[in-house]
Chains A and B, each alone.
Chain A
Amino acid sequence: MNIVKIALNVYKRLFKDITAIAFIIVFPMVAAIMAHTMLSSSVQKIGITNPDKDVLGLTEFLKNTQKYEVSIISEDDTIKNIDNNKKLAILTIKDNFNIKSQGNQEYVTVICKAANQNVAELNSIIEQYTAARITGNIISTSDIKTGESPQQKPLAAIGIFSMFMLVFSGVAMALLLEDKQKKTFMRIFSSPIKEHEFVAGNLIAFSLLGMVQICVFIFFSIVILKMDFYMNVFALFLILFLFFISAIGLAISIAALIKDYGKYNLVISLISIVTSFLSGAFFPIDSLNKVIIRLSDFLPQKWLLKAFKAFITGSGFKDALIPMIVLLLFALVFFVLGTKVLKPSAEDL
């Protein structure tokens, strides 16, 4: 009964300001919308100065990919179009190109403002197409490897949402820090409440809130935004929930180090961003230094993404089992490290 009372007290305190509901309900929706909107592929505008010299038919091929809108522009307008961001890049076919050179000669000059992922992708498409044509092969748009997979959108959505979950777990832990700072711990432990009841009450309260957030995120992504996560909804819920539990554990262990809850949230936010990068949520980290890759194995987000990838690549529950167990172990280890925070020390009394 004490557990229920403690859990209800958490809600009472958290929702004394009605705007806190936004934090629980609105932000998961926003995470889904952001991932959906930002990763929707848009058509890029590019220009070509001398299409008459395009003996390999590159212009037509680029149009057929449906990724590019190609228009003819005069050579004098090249820099103006690039610097004003009107075009992603301007192509100029080399004057002296000879198809018999067998790849010893450049075919096209790509002028762009600066490098970004879109320019890199355009160059990669041109490279693959030209290489195939020179060797006499026929290449279709479906043969092009762009490094962009359909699973990239849900992967980024999970990455963004996991960041928000970490921040939320920080907010949850801030309540406990406040208890400690305001000597409420001392009062609670002087009453007939067992230590485990106090811990369980808090954990149940935050776990239920985490479940609500996950449900909102999944419902909004799948039902409203029609996003495909390439996996069973219940499995998705399970891995996100396991991550949330480990995130709470991580937040508890950080709370053991930072005493001031204002600064604590800043620390949690910075950690959530760095760990998202390190886990490969936004950029592939396979080519990074081995030490950094090894370091990322100690992050819950890495294992969340591993479990997610195991499901979306079709390996299923069998391959996702180890990452899921690791997530649970993370939670246990962090809890052990963080129990110090839940035990009143001499200075709290």
Chain B
Amino acid sequence: MPVTKIIFKNVKSFLLNPFFIAFLVLIPIFQIALISGIINSAMKDTSSFRFVEIITTQKTFNNAMVENISIGIVVQFILLTGVIASSALVVEKEKHTLLRMYTAPISNITIISGFVIGNTIICSAITSVIIIISSLTVKIHWGNMLNIAIIVVISSFLSGAFSLFISGLFKNSKVITGVMSVVIIMMTIISGGLFPIEGLGVLPYFTLNKWISDAFTNSIQNNGLSGIAVNLIGMSAITLVFIIASALIYRRENS
């Protein structure tokens, strides 16, 4: 199976660098721990009121904010790891091995899927580790783990597809990863993933982060599989569009 071989090759090349893997796991966990510390410290002074009784319909006073930002960090991480897929494909393109692949009887979709699935496996595995560690150490409540696993896999798939699509738009490989990083950071800020923002209307819904974040939020609120179904369908549809667009961009004649 050619697709299995492409997946295996990508996963194998990623596993060759254990320091890089450790870095990818530790940085988001550190970020979550940091933001949890910042919010808890900041709220310590404001949570004891004399004249105001606070009732929250969903969460205790501080938890919701920590969870929201933690979701934002994880979603941003998932999208950023898509760079791994795009850089793998760019390397193949620059070494002209992509051209050689096209000479074999393999369809564009198979090649693209191989890279995206490889990225999905890598990204899902790292994200799962981050979620488990943050749940144990920073006590983030992520909700039903089965739901979370489904969201992680679909969002990782989306991340890989998005990354390939963006990388197909640029010829300069060094600029690709930079542009992707900036675009993802911008989407994260607009979706409220780095710090709480309001007043942007429907704009956050034009970011990938918002769709993925909503799925995580619904899962945390124990809304069940039916509660995240709309988000999952939306994410899957967007992924499909990116895959088809990438297959068109990475046509034989464009390589």
Q: Using a CB–CB distance below 8 Å, which chain A residues touch chain B? A: 13-14, 16-17, 19-20, 22-23, 27, 30, 34, 37-38, 40, 42, 44, 79, 82-83, 94, 103, 106-120, 123-124, 126-127, 130-131, 134, 160, 163-164, 167-168, 170-171, 174-175, 178, 258, 260-263, 265-274, 277-278, 282-285, 287-289, 292
Contacts and interface: CB of A to CB of B under 8 A. Distances in A.
B237 interface: no
Given A19-B179, A34-B190, A277-B31, 19 more contacts: A23-B178, A38-B199, A94-B53, A106-B52, A108-B53, A110-B54, A111-B57, A130-B52, A174-B178, A175-B174, A262-B84, A271-B27, A272-B185, A273-B76, A273-B194, A274-B30, A283-B195, A287-B42, A287-B44
Interface string B64-96: 110010000000110011011011101100000
Interface string B49-63: 111111111111111
B195 to A, nearest CB: 4
Interface residues of B, number: 72
A195 to B, nearest CB: 23
Interface of B: 17, 20, 23-24, 27-28, 30-31, 34-35, 37-39, 41-44, 46, 49-65, 68, 76-77, 80-81, 83-84, 86-88, 90-91, 169-175, 177-182, 184-186, 189-190, 194-200
B181 A113 contact: no
Contacts of A168: 178
Nearest to A119: B54
Given A106-B53, A292-B37, A265 B178 contact: yes
Contact of B53 (A110, A260, A273): A110
A112 B44 contact: no
23 contacts: A17-B171, A19-B169, A22-B179, A40-B199, A79-B57, A103-B51, A106-B50, A112-B56, A116-B68, A120-B43, A123-B52, A127-B50, A171-B175, A174-B177, A263-B20, A266-B87, A266-B181, A267-B20, A269-B184, A270-B28, A273-B76, A284-B42, A288-B41
B64 A106 contact: no
B209 to A, nearest CB: 13
Contact of A273 (B31, B64, B86, B172): B31
A110 B55 contact: yes
Contacts of A103: 50-51
Contacts of B175: 14, 17, 19-20, 23, 171
Contacts of A124: 46
Contacts of A40: 199
A305 to B, nearest CB: 15
A164 to B, nearest CB: 6
Given A266-B84, A266-B181, A42 B198 contact: yes
B226 to A, nearest CB: 17
A34 B194 contact: no
A267 B189 contact: no
A262 B177 contact: yes
B199 A118 contact: no
Contact of A14 (B172, B182, B194, B195): B172
A205 B52 CA distance: 58
Nearest to B88: A262
A150 B35 CA distance: 24
